Structure 1
Amino acid sequence: MKCIIVDDEPLALNDMERQLKKLGGIEICGKFGNAKDALDALDALQPNVIFLDIDMPVMNGLEASLHFQEALPGARIVFVTAYQEYALKAFEVNALDYLLKPVLLPRLAQTLQRLESTAGLPAQTNADPSGVHTVIRCFRSLSVEYGPVPSQLAWRTNKAQELFAFLLHRRGQQTRKDTLIELLWPELAPDRSYALLYTTVYQLRKSMESAGLGIRILNTKAGYELMTDDILIDVDDWERRMPPADETLQNELQYYESWLEAFTGDYFEEQDYEWADTERRRLRVLWYRYALRLAVLLEEHGMPAYGLDWLYRVQSRFPYSEEVYFLIMKLHAALGENSMVDQQYALLVKMSEDQYAHPPSAEIAAWYAARRPDHSSSTPNP
């Protein structure tokens, strides 16, 4: 297995070379301080793996990765950067992995294991058959982005957007025309509603064709089916990259955190489609459970302040979860921050009375009462 390293920082370039040599099992056939030089040498070197910095002058790593994939489709991209906010963008171009600087040796070893496990498999691509880079976003707001400089597919009407969203929601399945009529135009006479359905489908097809997308709406005997082929859909990609349930290694926590941060909002949150409620709740619960688990892991690995930060993030998204208040209280107590315990308990009492018309659970009330002698502050007044 051969690799090249691309980084505009000489120290980072040499450090990656040193660590790869220490691990062994991979040949370094080139080092480059910019993406252009690496692209020029690609044909001669034919690397299997490209370790690629993102924040570089002239051509950044995200842009360069598209050129690398076009010139050498079988090569795997591993991004190496100091900025975790690039994580989602990196995954959108199907990077095999994403390493945060400074790169830890055990974490790099895991990347090499992933490379070995995928050796011989064809590299995936996010490009549709027309070669236009396309991403369908479902988190927070539905959008279809395409092109090297992303443009958004325009929706002729709100009904056109919802029709696309519903077909996307049921991708890979046939959706009956009468189901779509009942969803979108239940108040209209059949002849009028069917005419609107046919017109809306036609307009969607023309818009996608004009944008050069590889998304198709197929006719079936009774309805329609949306075909997205290999186009990246952020929700699917997010679940595919879910950390293993038994992952507890400290050097995986950065990946864990960047994965959670890729959940940028609820499923079709801004559109608020009622038919998406079940999937919206499922994804929310998934994020909730993993975010709480990350907070616990951060505390276990000696980073309680980061754990608290994640608990407060969960609380902002789930303000009526008694469990989150309790976890925050216990972690503040472990850190000796008694006033913060009082503050959270007061907020919990108010939330419980306002939302549920009853006080906090007996378990939490007993825990709080039991620790009162441990400090001198008075009982909080919510």
Structure 2
Amino acid sequence: MYLEMMLLTDGRFRIEGKYTSAQAGLGHLAVSRVDVVFLDMDMPEMNGLEAGEHIQQLNSDIRIVYITAYSDYAIEAFEIHALDYVLKPIDPDRLAKTLHYIERSIPVREVKSFGNWRVRCFGHLSFDGSVGNERQLKWKTAKARELFAYLLHHRERWISKDILLETLWPDYPKDKALTYLHTTVSQIRKLVKEWQGQISVEYALDSYRLVLDGILCDVSEFEQATDKESAITEQNRLFYENIIALYRGDYLEGYDYPWAETLRSNLQERYLNFVIRIAAYDMEHGCERKALERLHFAQQKAPYSEEICRLVLTSYAQLGDYASLNRHYEAFVKLLHTDLGIEPSQETISIYNQYV
């Protein structure tokens, strides 16, 4: 899962599957076209060298990268044409070299023209490329944008025509709503035509779905990275900073879509919890100013959070900036009193008194 997160953050490659069973992985390779396999050496059913031989028999064009804690097998690995051999724990800089090798080894015809694009749902809906060029799509109507966002929201799941009509055109007669749906789908298909099939709206059995083939989605990346609360270390800190950077605003911020509210709240909560964790790590390692920058941005999203307030106070105390500490605390007390008619908790008051 850690390797998957690093690959998704890099953005050049698409994950076709991941398995803890060598047999299941070989079954996938037997029916799917895959360019690269990252393979462990120590596995229960067969070791990595045996699995590598099976992979070569299935398709000799598949590149194999061994990732293992054991260096003893390196020579044998390269004898079966392994592309690279990376030792655990994985160093991000070392993995970057491996990914460069992979990219050079894949023929140009296999690289998709829009493979480095990402659809952004944090903040305003947009697309951006690997070189930072962002594009706002020119939606013909607001409903075209909402339908695209709604299908994207459901991550390639089929959505029945009736649900689409009830959600997006609830106040129209069914025949008129159907006309609007067909027109809007047509508008979306014309708009994404330049992506050469990598973005498509599919129809089957009175249902629609949006398919992204090789195009990343910032929300999916963020969710996968935050599903498991692994400890923040110096080795993975950069990865987690990149994950935090994905959150450029709330989910579909600025669009009044009732169906997005639940996920919006969930993602914001994940983000705030993650910021608190990485800010605490920064403070433990002498990076209080970096922690403050993260915390001030997070507090704009959760202005009444006492946990964030306490971390801000602690950061100022560690820096010896007691004037800023006092200003922040007084502003927080005033905000709680004015907006909510309450006082800070005893824990927050005690921490403030301790510092001053």
Tell whether the structures are fold-level matches, with TM greater than 0.5. yes
- How much has 1:216 moved relative to structure 2? 1.8
SS at match of 1:265: coil
Q: Is the 8 A contact 1:146 1:152 kept in 2?
A: no
Instruction: Give the match for residue 57 of structure 2.
Output: none
- What letter matches 1:344 in structure 2? H
Aligned runs of 1:128-147 on 2, under 5 Å?
A: 131-133=113-115, 134-144=117-127
TM-score normalised to structure 2 length? 0.64
Aligned runs of 1:134-213 on 2, under 5 Å?
A: 134-144=117-127, 152-209=136-193, 212-213=196-197
Aligned runs of 1:9-158 on 2, under 5 Å?
A: 109-112=91-94, 131-133=113-115, 134-144=117-127, 152-158=136-142
Question: Deviation string for 1:339-376 (max 9, x for gaps)?
Answer: 2222122112111112221111122223434555xxxx
Residues 230 and 184 (structure 1 numbering): CA distance in 2 closer, same or farther, change over 3 Å?
Answer: same
User: How many residue pairs are counted as aligned between the two chains?
Assistant: 271
Distance (whole Å) between structure 2 residues aligned to residue 203 and residue 264 of structure 1 = 28
Residues 313 and 75 (structure 1 numbering): CA distance in 2 closer, same or farther, change over 3 Å?
Answer: farther
From 328, 335, 343, the counterpart of 2:327: 343
Distance (whole Å) between structure 2 residues aligned to residue 117 and residue 129 of structure 1 = 14
Distance (whole Å) between structure 1 residues aligned to residue 185 and residue 218 of structure 2 = 23
CA RMSD between the two structures:
3.9
Higher relative contact order (CA 8 A, sep 6+): 2
Q: Is the 8 A contact 2:232 2:278 kept in 1?
A: no
Q: Is the 8 A contact 1:130 1:213 kept in 2?
A: no
Q: Is the 8 A contact 1:329 1:344 kept in 2?
A: yes
- How much has 1:219 moved relative to structure 2? 1.4
Question: Deviation string for 1:282-322 (max 9, x for gaps)?
Answer: 22112211111111111111222322232222223322212
Distance (whole Å) between structure 2 residues aligned to residue 154 and residue 286 of structure 1 = 31
- What letter matches 2:182 in structure 1? Y
Residues 231 and 117 (structure 1 numbering): CA distance in 2 closer, same or farther, change over 3 Å?
Answer: closer
Runs of 5+ consecutive residues of structure 1 not aligned to the other structure: 1-72, 77-105, 373-382
Q: Is the 8 A contact 1:135 1:232 kept in 2?
A: yes
Runs of 5+ consecutive residues of structure 2 not aligned to the other structure: 1-61, 66-87
Distance (whole Å) between structure 2 residues aligned to residue 128 and residue 184 of structure 1 = 39
Residues 347 and 219 (structure 1 numbering): CA distance in 2 closer, same or farther, change over 3 Å?
Answer: same
From 258, 261, 272, the counterpart of 2:245: 261
Residues 332 and 153 (structure 1 numbering): CA distance in 2 closer, same or farther, change over 3 Å?
Answer: closer
Instruction: Give the match for residue 11 of structure 1.
Output: none
User: What is the percentage of aligned positions where both structures have the same residue?
Assistant: 30
SS at match of 1:250: coil
Q: Report whether the alignment pairs 1:290 with 2:300.
A: no
SS at match of 1:136: strand
Residues 206 and 251 (structure 1 numbering): CA distance in 2 closer, same or farther, change over 3 Å?
Answer: closer
TM-score normalised to structure 1 length? 0.60
- What letter matches 1:329 in structure 2? L
Residues 176 and 306 (structure 1 numbering): CA distance in 2 closer, same or farther, change over 3 Å?
Answer: same
- What letter matches 1:354 in structure 2? T
- Using the TM superposition, name which of 129-138 and 302-311 deviates more: 129-138
- Using the TM superposition, name which of 315-324 and 233-242 deviates more: 233-242
Instruction: Give the match for residue 284 of structure 2.
Output: 300
SS at match of 1:315: helix
Residues 225 and 320 (structure 1 numbering): CA distance in 2 closer, same or farther, change over 3 Å?
Answer: same
Distance (whole Å) between structure 2 residues aligned to residue 122 and residue 189 of structure 1 = 56
- How much has 1:213 moved relative to structure 2? 4.1
Q: Is the 8 A contact 2:126 2:134 kept in 1?
A: no
SS at match of 2:192: helix
